[in-house]
Structure 1
Amino acid sequence: MDLLPDLWRQDYWLPPGVTWTDMEQLADSDRPRPQDLLVALPLALGFVALRYVFERFFAPPMGRFLGVKNRLQVTAAPSPKLESFYTQRSRQPTQSEIISLMVSCGKTQRQIETWFRLRRNQDRPCQTRKFGEAAWRFFFYLTAFMAGLSCLIDRPWFWDHRECWRQYPVQRMERAHYWYYMLELGFYGSLLLRISVDIKRKDFKEQVVHHLATIFLLSFSYCANYIRIGTLVMLLHDSSDILLESAKMFNYGTGWRKTCDTLFVVFAVVFLVTRLLIFPTKIIRTTLVLSMEVFEPFAGYYFFNILLMVLQGLHIFWAGLIIRMVYKFLKGKLEKDERSDEESEIEEEELDKGGEENMDHGDRYWEKSKDTLNSKLSMLTNSCVLNNLTNHRSSVADRMRKAQ
């Protein structure tokens, strides 16, 4: 408890020469107060409940309209020893572990490998579940972006970023901006609450860092009355996330490939422009350089800009994935989303059934975000394995007839 008074030291949160008393010039409803952040907790729980309702009652009819279908899965044969190894040790055994399992289970190497492929496929999230998650995020990001734009478009700091610091920190907070902050904070809080049960993607750790950095950034910027620049940061991020989630929704559907491809290209352009061009040259420059025209550096100045740098680092990471996807897309070799869920890569299953081989069709997925991004797209195509196999058998039969 002795640390609590130090936490709210005014030299941490306010520029030199400004005190909390100066902030009291504004009415309670016109200035940010730390206790206001408590509203975000029930809002986060409310978003969790609202998401459940949305994914249960609204997402399914949307998915049916777009033709979202779950893939048929072949379940792995019951094997207590293999199941125990899968759940307790590894989902992908090494070669030496496979040999050990062959001895203990009395199976061939091919049977062991096939069993683990089938077992991993059982844990993959179904298309309808992934569609529901994408639809929910699309609904929020679209609503938040439209609400944010409507309450910022006529504000002077939207066009002239120097206005973000005019008379700082004694700036009146509008109620619309207060709710914009609380709703965004509650939404990212709900993502953090559900992160353990949501679809786990390859950039899971980056998503956790992103959610934490966003929550810290929103909380600090609110308490320090960085609200004007904070609203610009939120609006900028929501703009590309809308396109990301909409592209994922059409990707999970059937017969929307051109729409999905178009949205993906537009998303890639918007993401690269907003996150790699506008964010560092406009937003970070505003907080790092233009703010120094009004006040001297202080602890909060450094903390806020460090959090922005963390976000920029994540932007660069995701931009690298997107550029790789664009390259594969343009080369016609896009096989999967670089940040798709871990088992979204298609694995061809080869099963022995009565001496005949049945090959699984290879699908191609692309998906991005979270969010950001949790970023995130996959494409579907069918392989020609069966056709090649049929042609091969026909050619063999022809040679045998000629030999006779």
Structure 2
Amino acid sequence: MGKVEEEELIRLSNVDKEKGQLNGWNRVAPCPRHRPRLLAKHGRTLLGIEGLPHKWRNDVRNWFHLLIECSWSFVLFLFSIGYLGTWIFYAILYFIIAETKGASTNESRCITEVYDFASAFLFSMESQHTIGYGTRHMTTECPIAYFVLMTQCIIGVFVQTMLGGVIIAKVLRPKKRKQEMRFSDVAVIGPVDEHDRRPALFIRIADIQEKLFLAESHVRLYIAQNKFAPNGDKILVGLRDMNVGYDSGWDRVLLLWPVMVRHVIDEHSPLYGLNEEEMREKDFELIMTVEGIVEATGMTFQARTSFLPEEIVWNQKHGGAVSAFQTAAAMLSLWDEQLWLPGNTTWEDLASPAYPQRNDFMFTLAIGFLMLVGRILIESFVFLPIGWLGGWVEGPLSSRILSHICGGFAGKSQFKKVAECAYRFTYYLCAFTAGYFVLRTEPQLASVVDCWRNWPMHEVSAKVWWYYQIETGFYWGLLFSQLFFDIKRKDFLQMTLHHAITILLLWISWSMNMVRVGTLILFSHDAADILLELGKLFRYAGWDTALAIDFVVFFFLWTGTRLIYYPFYVVRSVIFEAPSYLMDNFSWWNLTQRPIVARALLVMLCLLVVLHVVWTILILKIAQSFSMNGGAGVDDVREDSDSEDDDKKKKKE
């Protein structure tokens, strides 16, 4: 054992009796078994002041701050009573004035239209808050009423200012912020570090709030101890400061992660000269405070805790906490590469403009809004004039256009249904045509497995970029119109779920550069939608022969794209072929294996298959109706009625 370690052992074991006496410790009078705390662990003071003359008078003088410290329930109760009390008090005065100074005619009364307590209460409330009198107002007949009104204005301003100030001060005070400070349950005593073997007291503090940072935070450590006079009397010495680095700047802490506060037990320490057994017999309490400034409000707060001798552990150290904080922060990151990319790829690898950028997807919201506005304009200035020229729309054309722009686009009329179908038919036809010209040179159209080869290093051309953005914007527009404008059909929930899943699929596929499989899904879905909307137009026009031909072609095209190509080519490739290209030994069942988001993509692709099956059942019902009616008068089973007039007829029936 070295000389320094031997000296420290002697100091801690208190071989030298004089060292303990220097700090006032008397070993003859041990501490009682039950130690009353001066400060609770959460920081509340447990001492009360007795014998103070006129204590209640001092409390009343500081009434504002006492109100701030009251509970929210009491403050809200006082807030309500303050207003109701002034309203009722002055309502009583106004009612008395109106009754005692009243007159037979309304013009000669002190307060017009005040005949009972209810009208007096309304007049009192209107006067105090300057809402406006209306028919109730004060006349020049009673000067006493002027004085009552002036006092109410003055007292009303005081009440509003006081109660409003209490509410604002209570909201802004950092009481909740200090509750987010955490102290270790125990303090430990051990060597400073592996090189410095001097004993030290360690207390760990942490700020669990990750978004509201503290400025100018610093710590203090005090000891409240009792000493014994030579005659044996017990003396409460009070607080004594314990050095936690204020002379070297260690007391100022940056609470971005858990921090260890250290007090070296040297000749200047109040704990100097005590060993473990003797420390547990002494009557003292360590009090730690943390002060800081809340950046959001600029207000200062103080958090406190305390440690009794039995809450001080020797020859131990606090466990690690920083690594746990870092792991939790990483798990909360939305764009963690582990969620989106394979193991050998980073976001920096996809930073080139040749690859999809995550921020580009924000353009789809603007495109969706523009397409929604464009739809209203096309319905108003293209489809309405066509219907008017064909004799299908009655009335003056200009008034019909103005009515449609001002809200008719969200109505329930026959033209609304026709215009809605015509717009979708036009879009699907253009989108399918554009999709063919965009994808005919892309490898995934000929082989689905090319969606996964060399993923995610798939460059996106300008035409694919625009195709994806416009298609996604269109589905945003459909979702907005489905929720707020379009006619609510029986498949409203399925359609809303379909649009939401489609947008989420497109966002995920764009973010992780699975654009190739996304283009295949869009292209295959647009084909059947063309004939679906065209068939609706034939139905509304009453062209049964064209409707019958369209329905037969649509049914085969729907079956081929939605029930054969999509599930047995696209989804099958995702389940069985994609894993071997995504990562080595990739398995869909290993939920923690990267990329994790790919599993959400698979789940939503399967949900689309379920929706296709549900819609196929509806189509089969239409086919049954089609065959029973001999190919005429096919109704859309999703619709309750064709127009508002139909609804009225059904209600009468």
**Is the contact made by 1:40 and 1:183 (CA closer than 8 Å) also made in structure 2?**
yes
Question: Which consecutive unaligned segments of at least 5 residues does structure 1 have?
Answer: 71-122, 352-358, 361-404
Q: Aligned to 2:517, which of 225, 229, 235?
A: 229
**1:137-184: CA deviation from partner (whole Å, max 9, x where unpaired):** 111111111111101012221111111112110111111111111101
Q: Distance in 1 between matches of 2:382 and 2:346?
A: 49
CA distance in 2, matches of 1:167, 1:54: 43
Aligned twin of 1:291: 578
The one-letter amino acid of 1:266's match is: V
> What pairs with 1:146-165 in structure 2 (closer than 5 Å)?
146-165=433-452
- Offset at 1:16? 3.0
| 1:204-226 alpha-carbon deviations (Å, 9 max, x no partner) | 11111111101100011001100
| 1:329 equivalent in structure 2 | 626
Matched, 1:179 2:466: yes
Alignment of 1:313-392 (within 5 A): 313-332=610-629, 336-341=635-640, 349=649
Instruction: Give secondary structure in 2 for the equivalent of 1:7.
Output: coil
Answer with 1 or 2: which has the greater Rg. Answer: 2
Provide the rounded CA distance (Å) in 2 between the counterparts of 1:134 and 1:238.
14
Question: Are 2:413 and 2:642, in contact at CA under 8 Å, matched by a contact in 1?
Answer: no
Is 1:216 equivalent to 2:504 in the alignment?
A: yes
* Counterpart in the other structure of 2:369: 45
Q: Which residue of 2 aligns with 1:143?
A: 430
| Distance in 1 (alpha carbons) for counterparts of 2:480 and 2:650 | 39
- The 1:349/1:207 distance shift into structure 2, 3 A limit, reads closer
Question: Could you tell me how far 1:63 is from its partner in structure 2?
Answer: 3.6
Change over 3 Å in CA distance of 1:66–1:153 after alignment to 2: farther
What is the one-letter code of the residue matched to 2:466?
A: W
- The answer as to whether partners of 1:145 and 1:239 remain within 8 angstroms in 2 is yes
**Amino acid of the structure 1 residue aligned with 2:488:** K
- 1:150 & 1:9 partners in 2: Cα distance? 36
Q: How does 1:184-333 map to 2 (within 5 A)?
A: 184-195=471-482, 196-254=484-542, 256-295=543-582, 296-297=586-587, 298-332=595-629
Mark the CA change 1:323 to 1:65 in structure 2 (over 3 Å): closer, same or farther.
farther
- Residue 124 of structure 1 deviates from its aligned partner by 8.4
Look up the SS of the partner of 2:600 in the other structure: helix
The answer to whether residue 453 in structure 2 is matched with residue 129 in structure 1 is no
In structure 2, how many angstroms separate the alpha carbons of the residues matched to 1:229 and 1:350?
46
Rate the CA distance shift 1:33–1:325 in 2: closer, same or farther, 3 A: same
CA deviation string 1:64-102 (max 9, x = no partner):
5776468xxxxxxxxxxxxxxxxxxxxxxxxxxxxxxxx
Deviation at 1:14, TM superposition (A): 1.2
The answer on 1:8 being equivalent to 2:321 is no
Q: 1:60 to 1:13 in 2, by over 3 A?
A: same
Runs of 4 or more above 4 Å deviation: 1-5, 64-70, 341-351
Could you tell me the TM-score, scaled by structure 1's length? 0.68
CA RMSD of aligned residues (A): 2.7
| Runs of 5+ unmatched residues, structure 2 | 1-210, 212-328, 395-409, 588-594
Q: 1:177-211, CA deviations, whole angstroms, 9 ceiling, x for partnerless residues?
A: 11111101111111122222211111111111111
* Aligned length, in residue pairs: 297
User: Counterpart of 2:349?
Assistant: 22
Superposed CA deviations along residues 241-271 of structure 1, whole A, max 9, x for unmatched, are 01111111121114x2211221122112211
Residue 56 of structure 1, aligned match among 380, 384, 387: 380
* 1:201–1:342 CA contact under 8 A, matched in 2: no
Distance between the aligned counterparts of 1:222 and 1:300, measured in 2?
12
- The structural deviation recorded for 1:5 is 5.9
Q: Check the 8 A contact 2:563/2:612 in 1, yes or no.
A: yes
Identify if the C-alpha distance between structure 1 residues 66 and 326 changes in structure 2 by more than 3 Å, giving closer, same or farther: farther
Counterpart of 1:34?
A: 358
Distance in 1, Cα, partners of 2:471 & 2:331:
26
Q: Post-superposition shift, 1:331?
A: 2.4
| Deviation, structure 1 residue 32 | 0.9
Q: TM-score, normalised by structure 2?
A: 0.43
Select the structure that is richer in strand. Answer: 2
Conserved? CA contact 1:236–1:274, under 8 Å: yes
The separation in 2 between residues aligned to 1:310 and 1:179, in whole angstroms, is: 26
- Alignment partners' CA distance in 1, 2:411 and 2:623: 25
Change in CA separation of 1:261 and 1:33 when aligned onto 2, cut-off 3 Å: same
Aligned partners of 2:647 and 2:564: how far apart in 1? 38
- Give the letter for the 2:603 counterpart: I
Shift of 1:311: 0.9
Instruction: Summarize deviations over 1:248-300 as a string: whole Å, max 9, x none.
Output: 1121114x221122112211221122111111001101212111121224312
- CA separation of 1:241/1:62 partners in 2, compared to 1, >3 Å: closer, same or farther? farther
The whole-number CA distance in structure 2 between the counterparts of 1:341 and 1:285 is 37
